[in-house]
């Protein structure tokens, strides 16, 4: 098991199985020294486990769990593309979309669920840029959608 995966296990977040490719798009791909993933939902198996609007149906703390679950699925997708998360040279960007109830403006708190875990796992090289925005609707009524970019060593 790679160092990064071992660290995830120690933190209580073992890597899930990667999702199968869906029709015309893929979970992750490499372009140059970047590996990008598709927008990930808070899914376990085939079930979206955090549904609804954060700030109304879902408390912001559960929104953080949802963001973390999206991140775990993103890491699984990137590992499937890359072979080993130890090849990650640094995390580059988190894109966090929070399905938000009217008037909810704590998207950064929600996405911290993912951002903080990245730094716990990857240390300084887990520090990333990010966007965090609130949207009215997400696929399958998911509470959060999140995409991740990482930089890897030259091929």
Query: In 3D, which of 110, 91, 95 has the Cα closest to residue 4?
Result: 91
Contact 71, 117 (CB under 8 A): yes
DSSP string, 28-46: EEEETTEEEEPPB-SEETT
The answer to whether 49 contacts a copy of itself (rule: CB under 8 A) is no
Among 28, 58, 70, 76, binds a copy of itself (CB under 8 A): 28
The H or E element spanning position 68 is helix 60-82
Q: Hey, which residues between 90 and 149 contact a copy of itself (CB under 8 A)?
A: 90, 92-95, 97-98, 100, 102-108, 112, 115-116, 118-119, 126-142, 145, 147, 149
9 or 140: CB nearest a copy of itself: 140
Contact 39, 97 (CB under 8 A): yes
Instruction: Tell me which residues touch a copy of itself (CB under 8 A).
Output: 21, 23-29, 31-34, 36-39, 90, 92-95, 97-98, 100, 102-108, 112, 115-116, 118-119, 126-142, 145, 147, 149, 151
């Amino acid at each position: 098991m790679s160092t990064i995966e071992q660290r995830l296990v120690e933190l209580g977040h073992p890597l899930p199985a990667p999702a199968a490719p869906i029709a015309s798009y893929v979970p992750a791909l490499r372009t140059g020294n970047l590996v990008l993933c598709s927008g990930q939902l808070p899914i376990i198996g085939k079930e979206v486990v955090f549904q609804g609007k954060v700030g109304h149906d879902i408390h912001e703390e559960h929104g953080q769990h949802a963001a973390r679950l999206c991140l775990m699925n993103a890491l699984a997708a990137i590992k499937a593309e890359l072979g080993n998360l130890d090849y990650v040279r640094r995390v580059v960007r988190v894109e966090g979309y929070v399905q938000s109830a009217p008037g909810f403006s704590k998207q950064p708190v929600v996405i911290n669920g993912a951002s903080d875990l990245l730094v716990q796992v990857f240390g300084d090289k887990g520090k990333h840029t990010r966007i965090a925005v609130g949207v009215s609707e997400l696929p399958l009524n998911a509470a959060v959608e999140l995409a991740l970019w990482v930089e890897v060593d030259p091929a």
